[in-house]
Amino acid sequence: MAHRNTTLTLAAVAAAIVIPALSGNGYVIQVASLAAIGAMMAVSLGILYGHAGQLSFAHAAFYGIGAYTAVVLHTQRGLDFFLSLLAGAALAGLAAFVVGLPTLRLRGNYLAIATMALQLGISEVFVNAKITGGSVGIFGIVRPAVFGISLESPAAYYVLLALAAVLVFALAQFIVHSRPGRALAAVREDETAASVIGVDIIRYKVSIFTITAMIAGLAGGLFAYQLEYVSPESFNLDWSIAVLSMVIIGGKRSALGAVIGAVIVTIVTQLLFSMGELQFLVYGLWIILIMLFLPDGLVSIWRTSYRKVREAGS
Amino acid sequence: MTALLSVQELTKLFGGVAAVDRVSFALPKGKLTGLIGPNGSGKSTMINLISGLHSPTRGTVQFKGQDITSLPPHRIACLGIARTFQLLRLFGDLSAFENVLIGAHLRGKHGFAAACGGPLLTGAEERRLHDLAREALEFVGLGPRAGVKAKLLTSGEGRLLEIARAIVAEPELVLLDEPAAGLNSAETGVLAEKLLSLVERGKTLLLVDHHMSLVMNVVSSVIVLAGGRVLTIGTPQEVQADGRVIESYLGSGEIYRRHRAKREVSEH
Amino acid sequence: MVSFVEVVITAASFGAAFALLALSINVIYSTSTVLNFAQGEFMMLGGMLGWAFYSALGLPYWLAVLLIVGCMGLVGLLEYSLVVRPLLLRRAADIAIMIATFGAAYVIRTATALGMGRVERPAKPPLGQTPVVIGHVPILPQSFVVIGLTCAVLVLAWWLYTRTTLGLALRAAAFDPDGAQLVGINVDKLNAVTFAGGGVLAGVAGLLISPLSYASPWFGITFAISGFAAAIVGGLGSWPGAVAGGIILGLANAIMLRYVSGQWGTFATFALMLLVLYVRPTGIFGERSAARFGTV
């Protein structure tokens, strides 16, 4: 059974990589690419919020730091592509580490508002700083060639994105099911009990804030080369909220759910694009409706129906 | 007989009121010591002070000759002091097994960097931690309940799970805050047995309780607190013979009620 | 010296508006524990409606104020009954409610932009633009309107909270919602009242502040962060905290505007917030649990 599940999973992953890449349909490739990026973000925020219990509205800020860093280093300074991506992740992590120490002492609603202010503050830096190209952003980004393979075509670049998403997914699984991952679950459930077991609460909170910010930074760097330009609107509070909605739709503690949430939200936002000025109105309604009807995520539907099936069977 | 833990002149004020007032005692290594006293006598505060959840207003706590006063709780845990809670503080959403596995935190080493390598880097240690957790769970007799979410356990099972979670990291000193509260007499018997076998394994225990029967049957010495102060320290026999102890409980109505209940039973 | 007095007046004006917004956040938060992120949009909408009624349609100021009170009360009520109430009834997680209020914020923002135009509007101050000179310092009359009306609203709110049955019920529900329900207080109805009240307070804040800058459909999120920052700096749920937080943030904003640059306001807000919360993680007046609502 377990063997069959593994085979099925591998087959599904392979299909998710190969089918859009070979579809030859530019729109499909673009949506799939954005979904892969969204999945990385949602999986990362899923660990931070769902697993470790630390709500953050600042994920888009770290995503932006990763994006600008990668673009400045690779496109403008000619540093190796992968090194630039890693530098972006590292800088996002560094920023998270620095602000995390004072911010993560806060809990609950206080943490939510503080991270929201952090997000808006960093957005402000993106808009006002010189190196980011201000509110205009940076244009003229060209997708690189790595190991002699050109990633210029969206399909080729999608394969890179999908592989990165798989890597992030695997990392998330490893982290959650490890000793530090369990310590985080303990922090989420009961900080006092966790501390007397020997868990250094602040250290673990700051660590996971930093690690998930690094993943966001990586996703941001990859995103910059998907879109081929960067501007502050891509990294604002709206994106943080969208990622949170992916996590909630997926059922907050399920990494697979986060991926499904990312796919759904990406498709919906892409569909809304064609609505012009109305898109944010409909988007707002969509968010309200999804919270009204699925406050515990898709996983809850699956679990209830699974239970019903089991009860009917017994 | 060497003292594993010693407390000197420990004082804790809450808004000017002394919950614990100049308390001094020493816990001999490898023994089970009782800490009793009527409600509000400062027992739980003592446990919180030793485990670092509160920091004392004055006084010191020494563990194995090292000053641990006001260290943060996780540092104190690292040095080998574990505790249970009077009001259960289990990780409700996690299974009994996972609760104990988390308790084994200090027995593992791998951090986030190794975790990112997956089972390749952490597999061996994970297997060892799982074995430890299973062992501890079996020890308290919860082996068959391993997969049940902690919040679905009975309160008796919850108490035992707290103990398993506290001892799985092999601490030298275990502070037990009213582990018998809410247990029936059969369960209390099982608990007493487990505590004695922990002492046999060389652990030092501090047992807080006002279930006099449990304390008097298992401990080698008793510290009696009243109004935040040490009333007396002695063997169970000495303490039971001490008029002041009975008086302090009488003041709180504790023994009086029990006494009357007995008399009513015998009169009928 | 002159510039210092100017800074203080600007600080007091912005501070007064932020205090009103923080108060409206606390009014809603106290009974329902909902963080309503649409509240910045309420304030924005108050400003836009003020522009529409007073500057564009030329209605008398008192009528514009009345209309705004009515409209914003209705908006608050609508948000409660359509978005928040159904979620509260389902006992949805806090985060789901928060995200839903962001959804409401999107709807209000976009609807305003579509309905009243996407541009910044110059809102006309009711007492004109001619500065009043007091001891060499030119002061905009609107500053007096902001500070004066805010004080009036605060006194009114204080009276409502401490001297009326409604206020008593609100305090009881804030202190212990389940207990309040047991003694026959209809918490659902109270929540509706607080959302309407929160809408009015935020709307008035927007009406007052817009002549000092502009009215624009895009200001909501900036307002929101200032209001929420003021609320948590003061301590969530605390009334005096809202006023203190508002004044602190107003001062910080005024100093940034005068001596540094208007571009880094939010970052300064964030830094200030962390500074205060580093010393007191629940704000200046926060979480002295039972005493929270005892005094105003």
Sequence-distant (6+) residues with CB within 8 A of A139 are A228, A229
Q: Min CA distance, A174 vs chain C (Å)?
A: 26
For B89, which of A175, A180, A193 is closest by C-beta distance? Answer: A193
In a domain, C272, yes or no: no
- Between strands B3-14 and B204-208, the pairing is unpaired
SS3 at position B7: strand
Residue with tokens 């690292």: B78
ipTM: 0.88
**C127: closest CA of chain A, how far (Å):** 34
Contacts of A189 in chain B (CB under 8 A): 91-94
Report pLDDT digits (tens) over C120-176.
Answer: 888 888 888 888 887 778 888 888 899 999 999 999 989 988 899 888 898 888 888
User: Per the domain annotation, does C101 fall within a domain?
Assistant: yes
Mark whether B and A touch (3+ CB pairs within 8 Å): yes
Angstrom distance (rounded) from CA C272 to CA C7:
18
Answer whether B94 sits within 8 Å of A178, measured CB to CB: no
Q: Which two tokens stand for residue A265?
A: 């939200």
Contact A178 B105 (CB under 8 A): no
Q: Is residue C13 part of a domain?
A: yes
Band of the pLDDT at C292, cuts 50, 70, 90? very low
CA-nearest of A287, A300, A293 to A251 is A300
Residue whose tokens read 């929540």: C191
Asked if B110 lies within 8 A of A197 by C-beta distance, the reply is no
Q: Do C83 and A288 touch (CB under 8 A)?
A: yes
Query: Per CATH, the architecture of B3-267 is what?
Result: 3-Layer(aba) Sandwich (3.40)
Largest Cα separation within chain B, whole Å, is: 72
Residue B265 above 50 pLDDT? Answer: no
Cβ distance C228 to A295 less than 8 Å, yes or no, reads no
Are A185 and B98 an interchain contact pair (Cβ–Cβ within 8 Å)? yes
Residue C50 lies in a domain: yes
Phi, psi of C125 (to 5 degrees): -75, 140
Mutate to test the interface with A, among C75, C102, C264, C277 (most CBs of A within 10 A): C102
Partner residue facing B91 (CB), from A174, A175, A186: A186
Q: Which of C25, C270, C272, C280 to mutate to test the interface with A (most CBs of A within 10 A)?
A: C270
Of A175, A179, A198, the CB nearest to B77: A198
Q: Is A196 in contact with B82 (Cβ distance < 8 A)? A: yes
Best mutation target among A56, A98, A116 (most C Cβ atoms within 10 Å) is A116
Query: What secondary structure does DSSP assign to C89-113, as a single string?
Result: HTT--HHHHHHHHHHHHHHHHHHHH
Q: What is the mean pLDDT of residues B83-94?
A: 93
Higher pLDDT, B184 or C86: C86
Amino acid identity at A213: A
CA torsion sign for B55, B56, B57, B60 is negative
**How many domains are there within chain C?**
1
Residues of A within 8 A of B52 (CB-CB) are 195-196
Write down the domain spans for chain A: 2-313
Rounded-to-integer distance, Cα A35 and Cα B29, Å: 60
Q: B204 forms bridges with which residues in the sheet?
A: B173
Mutate to test the interface with A, among B47, B55, B105 (most CBs of A within 10 A): B105
Q: With an 8 Å Cβ cutoff, are A196 and B165 in contact? A: no
pLDDT bracket for residue A13 (50, 70, 90): confident
Contact A114 C103 (CB under 8 A): no
Average the pLDDT over A263-271 and give the result: 94
Radius of gyration in angstroms for the set of CA atoms belonging to chain C, rounded to a whole number: 18
Q: What is the pLDDT of residue A1?
A: 47
Whether C265 is covered by a domain: the verdict is no
DSSP structure string for chain A: -HHHHHHHHHHHHHHHHHHHHHH--HHHHHHHHHHHHHHHHHHHHIIIIIIT----S-HHHHHHHHHHHHIIIIIIT---HHHHHHHHHHHHHHHHHHHHHHHTTS-HHHHHHHHHHHHHHHHHHHHH-TTTTTTT-B------EETTEE--SHHHHHHHHHHHHHHHHHHHHHHHTSHHHHHHHHHHH-HHHHHHTT--HHHHHHHHHHHHHHHHHHHHHHHHHHHS-B-GGGGSHHHHHHHHHHHHHHTSS-HHHHHHHHHHHHHHHHHHHTTGGGHHHHHHHHHHHHHHH-TT-HHHHHHHHHHHHHHHH-
R_g of chain A computed on alpha carbons: 19
Q: What is the pLDDT of residue A188?
A: 94
Which chain A residues in 249-308 lie under 8 Å from chain C, judged by CB atoms? Answer: 277-278, 280-281, 283-288, 291-292, 295-296
Given a contact cutoff of 8 angstroms between Cβ atoms, the answer to whether B7 and B175 are in contact is no
- Sort B144 into a burial class: Cβ within 10 Å, 0-12 / 13-18 / 19+: exposed
Highest mean pLDDT among A296-310, C35-49, C123-137: C35-49
Instruction: Name the residue type at position A288.
Output: I
pLDDT at res. C51: 94
A2-313 CATH choice from 3.40.1440, 2.60.120, 1.10.3470, 1.10.287? 1.10.3470
- Dihedral class, residue A275 (left if φ above 0, else alpha if ψ from -120 to 50, else beta): alpha
From B51, B102, B112, residue closest to A175, measured CB to CB: B112
pLDDT over threshold 60, residue B253: no
Residues in chain A closer than 8 A to C35 (CB atoms) = 109, 112-113
Please tell me if residue A45 touches chain B, with a CB cutoff of 8 Å: no
Flag if A113 and C228 touch (Cβ within 8 Å).
Answer: yes
**Is the Cβ pair C103, A112 closer than 8 Å?**
no
Q: What is the mean pLDDT of residues C195-224?
A: 92
Q: Nearest-CA neighbor of C112 among B246, A81, A280?
A: A280
A102 interaction partners in chain C (CB closer than 8 Å): 274, 277-278
**Alpha-carbon span C198 to B102, nearest angstrom:** 44
Taking CB atoms and an 8 Å limit, are A296 and C93 in contact across chains?
yes
Cβ distance B169 to A197 less than 8 Å, yes or no, reads yes
C-beta of residue B168 within 8 angstroms of C-beta of residue B107: yes
**C290 CB neighbour count, 10 Å cutoff:** 8
Nearest residue to B36 via CA among B242, B253, B232:
B232
Q: Give the pLDDT of residue A8.
A: 85
Band (B258; pLDDT cuts 50, 70, 90): low
How many angstroms separate the CA atoms of C44 and B188, rounded? Answer: 64
Structure tokens at B30: 């490898």
Average pLDDT of span B60-88: 94
Q: Contact, B59 vs B48, CB < 8 A?
A: no
Contacting residues for A82 by C-beta, under 8 A, at least 6 apart: A146
User: How many other β-carbons are positioned within 10 Å of the β-carbon of residue B113?
Assistant: 10
Residues of B in contact with A180 (CB under 8 A): 110-112, 115
Under 8 Å CB-to-CB from C39, ≥6 apart: which residues?
A: C21, C24, C25, C28, C198, C202, C223, C224, C227, C228
Rounded CA-CA distance C170/C177 in Å is 9
What is the spatial distance between Cα B139 and Cα B45, in angstroms, rounded to a whole number? 29
Angle between helices A154-176 and A26-45 (to 10 degrees): 20
Question: If you search the block for the tokens 């259960």, which residue do you land on?
Answer: B88
Residue B83 forms contact with A (CB below 8 Å): yes
Nearest CB neighbour to A245, from listed C92, C99, C105: C99
Residue type (1 letter), B30 = G
Nearest to B74 among A190, A195, A207 (CB): A195
pLDDT at A272 (0 to 100): 92
Residue in A106, A278, A286 closest to C281 by CB: A106
pLDDT of residue B216: 81
A positions 194-253 inside 8 Å of B (CB): 194-201, 207-208, 211
| Own/partner long-range contacts of A17-26 (Cβ < 8 Å, ≥24 apart) | A17/A159, A17/A162, A17/A163, A17/A166, A20/A155, A20/A158, A21/A155, A21/A156, A21/A158, A21/A159, A21/A162, A22/A155, A24/A155, A26/A154
> Could you say which residues from 69 to 108 on chain A have a Cβ atom under 8 Å away from some Cβ of chain C?
99, 102-103, 105-108
Does residue B89 register a pLDDT over 90? yes
Distance CA A42, CA A238 (A): 14
Two tokens at A220?
A: 């941001």
Where do the domains of chain B lie?
3-267
Residue C216 lies in a domain: yes
Contact across the interface for C232 and A109, Cβ inside 8 Å? yes
Of C97, C107, C281, the CB nearest to A281: C107
pLDDT, residue B257, reads: 53
Instruction: Tell me which residue range forms the domain holding C145.
Output: 2-221
Q: Is the pLDDT of residue A154 over 50?
A: yes
CB contact under 8 A, C281 and A110: yes
* Angle, vertex CA B248, rays to CA B244 and CA B251, nearest 5: 135
From chain C, pick out residues whose CB is under 8 angstroms from the CB of A248.
95-96, 99
Residues 6+ apart with CB under 8 A from A36: A158, A161, A162, A164, A165
- Report the percentage of chain A scoring pLDDT > 90: 71
A157-170: per-residue pLDDT in tens? 999 999 999 999 99
